[in-house]
Structure 1
Amino acid sequence: MKFIGNVIWIICGGLLSAIGWWLAGALWCITIIGFPFGKQFFKIAKLAIAPFGARVVKVG
């Protein structure tokens, strides 16, 4: 079910969302001040591409 959900999600706009987060992350990583934010945007992009079956875990 996770696989089917992720495929439907990607087709219905998940890919565009992930690309948007990736581009935002790349832009924020240009500066030293924005690097921590850009790093988090890449994590959100990973979650945006395949949300079904993913877990969000607080570390630290």
Structure 2
Amino acid sequence: IVWLIVSGIPMAVGNAVIGVVCCITIIGIPFGRQFFKIAKLALLPFGATVR
């Protein structure tokens, strides 16, 4: 719960915003998709795997 409040939510929101900004251009869409994956991982990293 401490992780979620102190670091998880701010990092997830920041990565989601950067993902939206990257998805504005066609070239940035792959990077934006990866930022969305990182945002999900930043929210609850415990027990998650990266593929």
TM-score above 0.5, yes or no: yes
Q: In the alignment, is residue 24 of structure 1 matched against residue 18 of structure 2? A: yes
- What fraction of aligned residue pairs are identical, expressed as a percent? 57
Task: Tell me which residue corresponds to 1:56.
Answer: 50
Q: TM-score, normalised by structure 2?
A: 0.92
Task: Tell me which residue corresponds to 2:39.
Answer: 45
Q: TM-score, normalised by structure 1?
A: 0.79
> Following TM superposition, by how much is the alpha carbon of 1:55 offset from its aligned partner in structure 2, in angstroms?
1.0
Q: What is the total number of aligned residue pairs between the two structures? A: 51
Kindly report structure 1 stretches of 4+ aligned residues shifted beyond 6 Å.
Answer: none
Structure 1 distance, partners of 2:44, 2:19, is 18
Larger Rg: 1
